[in-house]
Amino acid sequence: TFSGYFPKIGAQMETCSFKETEAYSVCARLPENHDRILVVASAGNTARAFAKVCSDNGIPLLLSIPEDNISALWFHKPLNDCVKIIAAPSGCDYFDAIVLGDKVCESPKFMAEGGAKNIARRDGMGTTLLSAVEVIGRIPDAYFQAIGSGTGTIAVWENNLRLIEDGRFGKHRMRLYPSQNAPFTIMYDSWKAHSRKLVHLSAEDARAQAAEIKAKVLSNRKPPYSLAGGLFDALNDAGGDIFKVTNAEIDIWKEKFLMLEGIDIYSAASVAVASLAKAVESGDVRKDEIIMLNITGGGESLTKEHHDVVYAKPDLVIDTFLPAEEIIRQVEKLF
């Protein structure tokens, strides 16, 4: 399953990321007359997708991102004034952007998008499985995807259960094989310890690990892993395993994918490809099985060849350690 920009195969996602699938469903679910400003914290791809959809449809949006990831905010045209961007200062990570967004949401003028707990988000991402099943004609045997929060894998597991209930596409659960970019492997480490509770990861270590990995979007240090219906439950129910992939392996499989499939893919998508190679090698998947490999983003180089792009800048860079009242005061001035 390819999400991104690759006109040759009919893929026309402007933001080059499967996060577009969730942005449309989340925005469509907003009550018609709501007057609160939507707040989305993101390490990059989600921010780009929500910014595009909200800008195109005049939906007020506040994005909270780490300043170091600002280069991920490129667009085919300048953003509508209804979209504002705040950033956690250089050296901060995705979690800092989440903290910033949470503090803003203490004001009644703002509303958190909800992340993994927002059913519209999971249902949007789950369409990757639905489209695969439509083409294949049945539920795959195994599923591969790189994870930052694990929400995409939770989403396909939920949709797998619905497809079983539907009955036309098989009665089996596909095994789940999510993967992380080493050294940022909090879910991998927790799963290998057979622990529902996430292993301890200090803020200091998390920031250092997030700085080291190539797939920056895979760096959520508080993912929906332990909670009921989270990734731990999904893996236990469906079977499978978590893999970890190094930066060097990302480069190797990016190159191979470009050579074999003819399109550039993101580092996160390359993590999934590398994990599939590992699973084949270890015998976790058999050669006669039907496998869904979720290429969650690609074609950025191609879209930048085909279109001019503009880069967004933060409207405000603000320290996460400031009290909520001070952050709210500064952010409210933007709207």
For 125-184, the pLDDT digits (tens) are 999 999 999 999 999 999 999 999 999 999 999 999 999 999 999 999 999 999 999 999
Assessment of whether the complete model's pTM goes beyond 0.85: yes
The answer to whether 96 and 66 are in contact (CB under 8 A) is: yes
Strands 110-112 and 37-41: parallel
**Residue whose entry in the numeric block shows the structure tokens 């930048």:** 304
Spatial CA neighbour of 3 closest among 300, 289, 274, 245 = 300
Q: What average pLDDT does this structure show over 195-215?
A: 94
Strands 83-88 and 61-66: parallel
Mapped onto helix, strand or coil, the DSSP state of residue 316 is strand
Write the burial class of residue 148 (CB in 10 Å: 0-12 exposed, 13-18 middle, 19+ buried): buried
Assess whether pLDDT exceeds 90 at residue 33: no
Residues whose CB falls within 8 Å of the CB of residue 46, separated by 6 or more in sequence, listed in order: 17, 19, 22, 23, 40, 217
Mapped onto helix, strand or coil, the DSSP state of residue 211 is helix
Torsional sign, CA 234, 239, 125, 166: negative
Write the burial class of residue 196 (CB in 10 Å: 0-12 exposed, 13-18 middle, 19+ buried): middle
pLDDT in tens, 41-94: 987 889 999 999 999 999 999 999 999 989 999 999 999 999 999 999 998 888
**H-helix or E-strand spanning residue 104:** helix 94-104
Structure confidence at residue 32 (pLDDT):
83
Q: First and final CA of the chain: distance in angstroms?
A: 39
| Rounded Cα–Cα distance for residues 180 and 247 (Å) | 11
Both tokens of 258, joined, read: 């470009």
Assess whether pLDDT exceeds 80 at residue 22: yes
**Could you give the domains of the chain?**
16-113+309-332 (3.40.50.1100), 119-298 (3.40.50.1100)
Amino acid at 121: R
Q: What average pLDDT does this structure show over 246-253?
A: 98
| Rounded Cα–Cα distance for residues 92 and 68 (Å) | 8
Cα 267 to chain centroid distance, Å, stands at: 12
